[in-house]
A = this chain, B = another copy of it.
């Protein structure tokens, strides 16, 4: 008994001999020259061109995630490029592979937490009581609350108030941002520690205001970082550090067992 084929279908883009459409728009005539890269990313993901306000906030979110200095992801890309400079794409890929639960996961974690606490943004619930519940739940399970705290940026992550300001000015600061802020305040009070909302927490909350599914939120970090990594690889090609790091680490790591 043979299996039945299921249909295969994509609604993102198509092309014919003389036309290319992306999300229902004519790429050469309606997109090129009319949109910026952040707006096109929004179109690609949602099927809709952003309003001017959505554009402002979405560009700010993604830009925040492009670059943050010498991160593990930048190091992996640079070291990979040192071995395979003919495969720039593989160096970027290597750099992206580590964008998992440790560094970027808190962004999707914050979105997931907020959606689970408040599935319907319009629901008639008391946000203060809800924040108490959320904090108590995480503390009871001895879990870290995603999106709070930063090893370096204390007592405030300088990106957070600016992101919230941009969201506010553009009508995208609603109950999810409010809930996130209450959760942070409750968590600080309960723990007695400085737990500022970090950039990934702010972005996670604003993503809920947009209504993005939490599963795709990590994707914003991934696409932003790809841009950042190309910058690091360009610098690596001009002023390399990959081989030097390798040799220093190799020397040190095996000194205890290596004979003179």
| Interface, chain A (partner B; CB < 8 A) | 2-3, 5-22, 27-29, 31-33, 35-41, 44-45, 55-56, 59-60, 62-64, 66-73, 75-76, 79-104, 152-154, 156, 158-159, 161-163, 165-166, 169, 213, 215-216, 218-224, 226-235, 237, 239, 241-254, 256-259
Contacts and interface: CB of A to CB of B under 8 A. Distances in A.
Contact of A97 (B9, B55, B97): B97
18 contacts: A9-B239, A10-B235, A12-B231, A13-B69, A27-B159, A36-B59, A45-B231, A70-B254, A72-B246, A75-B246, A76-B80, A84-B87, A89-B99, A90-B96, A93-B94, A213-B234, A219-B234, A226-B226
Contacts of A89: 84, 87, 90, 96-100, 104, 218, 221-222
Contacts of A216: 88, 230, 233-234, 237
A83 B98 CA distance: 5
Binding site of A, secondary structure by majority: helix, strand, loop or mixed? helix
B97 A40 contact: no
Given A97-B80, A241-B253, A16 B258 contact: yes
